[in-house]
Amino acid sequence: MGKKVLITGSRGIAAALVAQLSNKDYSIYIVGGEEQDCKALSAQFSQVKGFSAIDIRDEQLVIDAFDQAIKQLDGLDHVASIVGGSGRSFGDGAIEDISKSAWDQTLDLNLTTAFLTAREAIKYFKKNGGGSLILTSSILATSPSPEFFRTHAYAVAKGGVNTLVKTLSAAYLTDSIRVNAVAPSLVATPMAARAAQNPEIAEFTKKKQPFAPSQLSADQVAASYVYLMENQGVTGQIIEIDGGWSVNSGV
């Protein structure tokens, strides 16, 4: 498999993935994220051949960014969709408290972005002999934590990502397109700052994910995207990187 990859996002896991792929001589195009972050990554890693710091919720901007990436990289072998985030600032929470606007915005940020990225990736891969698509889910889609993480719209959005993986991997098997996802628990990124600063949640995390007692590092999670890109035998899988969270039923 080739080494031309489009990554959505510019911080946290996405930035760690850019660094790891650069060390393995991949050619990278970044879509979404913050322009300053994209510029910094581009300056730091010569393997970053360009970026489009767009809002990935905008359909036409995503289409244009894919076109630009394909031109800059002279093709595309892998797409890693990482952009997403908490919907708390929109009003995500317990379902009885979520407004229609908060619901829409949270799904837009986490599921619509995955849909648009997946659609453009599949369109290209289907015409060009296959490829690898990796989406980003969350452990909260399958292992909820009602006490500390009652963000129901976010969980539903990530559950939708899981369904996309299963549906698309089956639908495009004969087109040589592999589709997988990474589902982390708490990762040391800006999104998890609230959890890191809350003493009760910090104590819960120590018990819930004992192999990552504070939080997972972005590097630990990024390594799983590299694995999914490079292992041709894997498709239709949601890889949980969770420090023990999903099997720790006693917490």
Pairing mode of beta strands 27-31, 48-52 = parallel
Share of the chain above pLDDT 70, in %: 99
Instruction: Kindly state the helix (H) or strand (E) to which residue 23 belongs, with its residue range.
Output: helix 12-23
- The answer to whether the predicted template modeling score (pTM) of the entire model surpasses 0.85 is yes
The model's pLDDT over 73-100, given as tens digits with 9 standing for 90+, comes to 999 999 999 999 999 999 999 999 999 9
pLDDT per residue as tens digits for the range 28-49: 999 999 999 999 999 999 999 9
Return the pLDDT at 214: 84
pLDDT tens per residue across span 140-155:
999 999 999 999 999 9
Tell me what pLDDT residue 69 has: 98
Across the chain, what does the average pLDDT equal?
96
What are 48-58's pLDDT values in tens digits?
A: 999 999 999 99
State how far the Cα of 152 lies from the Cα of 112, in Å rounded to an integer. Answer: 16
pLDDT of residue 213: 86
Q: What is the pLDDT of residues 176-225, one digit of tens each?
A: 999 999 999 999 887 667 777 889 998 999 999 999 988 999 999 999 99
Q: DSSP states of 107-130 as a string? A: HIIIIIHHHHHHHHHHHHHHHTT-
Six token digits for residue 2: 């080739």
**250 phi, psi to nearest 5 deg:** -85, 0
Q: How confident is the model at residue 230 (pLDDT cuts 50, 70, 90)?
A: very high
**Which residues are CB-contacts of 150 (< 8 A; sequence separation ≥ 6)?**
93, 94
Residue partners of 174: CB distance under 8 A and separation at least 6: none
Superfamily for the 4-188+216-244 domain: NAD(P)-binding Rossmann-like Domain (3.40.50.720)
Token pair listed for 76: 């595309």
pLDDT higher for 163 or 190? Answer: 163
- CA 211, 215, 217, 221 torsion: positive or negative? positive
pLDDT value of position 140: 96
Is residue 113 predicted with pLDDT exceeding 80?
A: yes
